[in-house]
A = this chain, B = another copy of it.
Amino acid sequence: MTPEDKAAIAAMPWSERTFARDSYLVREGEPASVCTFLIKGFAFRQKLVSDGARQIISIHIAGEFLDLQNSLLDVADHNVQCLTRCLVGIIHKSALLDLIAARPNVRRALWLDSLIDSSIFREWVVNVGRRDARERIAHLLCELADRLKSAGLANGQPYDFPLTQEQIADCTGLTAVHTNRTLQGLRRDGLISLSSSQLTILDWDRLAEIGDFNERYLHHAV
């Protein structure tokens, strides 16, 4: 992006707001009028099924858009919620569409962002569909560590890792109890250390192998 692109972004009419942990930023079924991006904190997307169970669909870290799809879609098809206290940037979708119309580079960057989101969703389908509990959790930990590192949000280990075991369970399609036992297994085998929201990956190679983790789907280089 050129300096002009960046100036155009900076000139957009956006606002900032802080949300408490667990606050909803987007609710399924509600009309979509704004787009939000995360300035500080962690957030996640989720859907609820008929019996009340929750599936988390993705985790988001600072710097990421939370609902870029709202720029074109009329009604939200899933919920977005704060994982921690969050500082969020809010842009009205029309402002974003104007910017996109005027700035090819920005347009490209935003489309690319949504395509990478999409790639992550695909990998999550694979993760919950074809891996067992140990593999799923290993994969999730690798993904988050990799993304934090690559976004420059980690200065070495341990990583800030604000997910409770129940939330890890909702990411991986498991129950909280089984997640607990599986995490204990990973600890016992000297692969990770995880407590009080601090994650240390003690043996990256083995954890990545267990989780069948290959960073290609994150498309870092693009």
> Using a CB–CB distance below 8 Å, which chain A residues touch chain B?
28-29, 45, 47, 49-50, 53-55, 57, 69, 72-75, 77-78, 101, 104, 107-108, 111-112, 114-119, 121-126, 128-131, 172-173, 212, 216-217, 219, 221-222
Contact = CB atoms under 8 A, between A and B. Distances in A.
Contacts of A130: 49, 53-55, 173
A216 B104 contact: no
Given A111-B111, A118-B117, A122-B121, A222 B129 contact: no
Given A121-B124, A125-B125, 7 more contacts: A28-B216, A47-B126, A49-B212, A50-B212, A74-B219, A78-B217, A107-B107
Contact of A118 (B49, B114, B219): B114
A69 B101 CA distance: 20
Contact of A129 (B50, B101, B173): B173
Contact of A74 (B101, B121, B172, B222): B222
